[in-house]
Structure 1
Amino acid sequence: MSGGEIVVRPFEPQDVDAVWRLMRDLAVFEGYVDAFAVTPGDLLAHGFGPAPAFGVFVALKGETIAGIAVHYRIPWTFDLRPVVVLKELYVAEGFRGAGVGRALFAHLRAYAAGIGASTLRWTVLPDNEPARRFYAAEGAAPDAAWEHWTLPLPGRI
């Protein structure tokens, strides 16, 4: 889909169902939909209030939420500055190639700079070449100094 202005803003409670659907679409794309446990209620419970656990920027084309950038903040690290972690950047299939991802990424980058963050971090699936090219075009590069490690733990929040 092309044409029309892209508006990026923080998500609002009325956006929760659309955001959830895009998060689930990403889970399908990345192959973990069977483990995807997030509900719209979880987004409401943890994404709003006096101390939200995460934020979401939504990109609108007209009245439609065309993409999302889910993020959270690490309050400070070695340099006493926050780090912004991009957890999910996803653009709905019908809106890809229309600048939605770039608009979301630019908004997130401006947000990170605005809070004085030292770094914007995220992970990319090794075989997701379109994402790797996208991020490289934005000036990013894989972090050769660190490995991404995981330790699964039992239970659920």
Structure 2
Amino acid sequence: MRVRRATAHDVVPLLALMRALAVFEGYDADFRVTASDLLARGLGGQAAPEFIALVAEDGHGSLCGHAVLLVTPFTYDLRPTVVLKELYVDVQHRRRGVAEGLLAAVQAEAQAIGAGRIRWLVLPGNGPAKRLYRRFGGAPDTAWESWERRLERPLQSSA
């Protein structure tokens, strides 16, 4: 197994892995990412890509897992925060060290830019992921709650 940064040549299999994650997490009906989007936003050789994608290859060169990273340039300590937006390993390749390899590569990317932390979300019932993240050195951030405001429609004025 080898982990590396994704390239434009990985768009089709990477998109398939992303779609599989959407099915696993239950948002496949809302999944809108296309191969063109991946190229336009990060894998098309941009000077400032909107995301970093890491991919794991099995012994035959096929993609078997991925991680998508977003970077917040700085926060209170003037250091970047790396947001692990997606981590997924194909079902047939689980429990073979693929996720650990991807997480090690995520940490290397974060350290390379001087990040102060890596953040991610995990589904409440995903015990195997929680155990993996604890082995990786992660822990729940109990000081904060995750909030969001969906913007399907323009925000209505209350005036």
> Normalising to structure 1: TM-score of the pair?
0.93
Q: Deviations over 1:54-105 (max 9, x none)?
A: 0100011121111001001000001000000000000011110110000000
SS at match of 1:94: helix
Name the residue aligned to 1:83: 81
Residue 56 in structure 1 maps to residue 53 in structure 2: yes
> Gapped runs of 5+ residues in structure 2?
154-159
* Distance in 1, Cα, partners of 2:34 & 2:107: 27
* Distance in 2, Cα, partners of 1:142 & 1:52: 29
Residue 13 in structure 1 maps to residue 8 in structure 2: yes
Choose the corresponding residue for 2:22, options 16, 27, 30.
Answer: 27
* Deviation for aligned residue 1:154: 2.3
Choose the corresponding residue for 2:131, options 129, 133, 155.
Answer: 133
Amino acid aligned to 1:103: G
* Distance in 1, Cα, partners of 2:136 & 2:39: 31
**Aligned-CA RMSD value:** 0.9
Amino acid aligned to 1:17: V
> Normalising to structure 2: TM-score of the pair?
0.92
* Distance in 2, Cα, partners of 1:115 & 1:52: 14
Residue 121 in structure 1 maps to residue 119 in structure 2: yes
Q: Deviations over 1:129-153 (max 9, x none)?
A: 1111110111110001111101001
* Deviation for aligned residue 1:10: 0.5
Amino acid aligned to 2:115: A
Choose the corresponding residue for 1:70, options 68, 71, 76.
Answer: 68
Shifted more, 44-53 versus 96-105: the winner is 44-53
* Distance in 2, Cα, partners of 1:113 & 1:45: 26
* Distance in 2, Cα, partners of 1:99 & 1:116: 26
Name the residue aligned to 2:42: 47
> Gapped runs of 5+ residues in structure 1?
1-5
* Distance in 2, Cα, partners of 1:143 & 1:112: 19
* Distance in 2, Cα, partners of 1:78 & 1:125: 27
SS at match of 1:67: strand
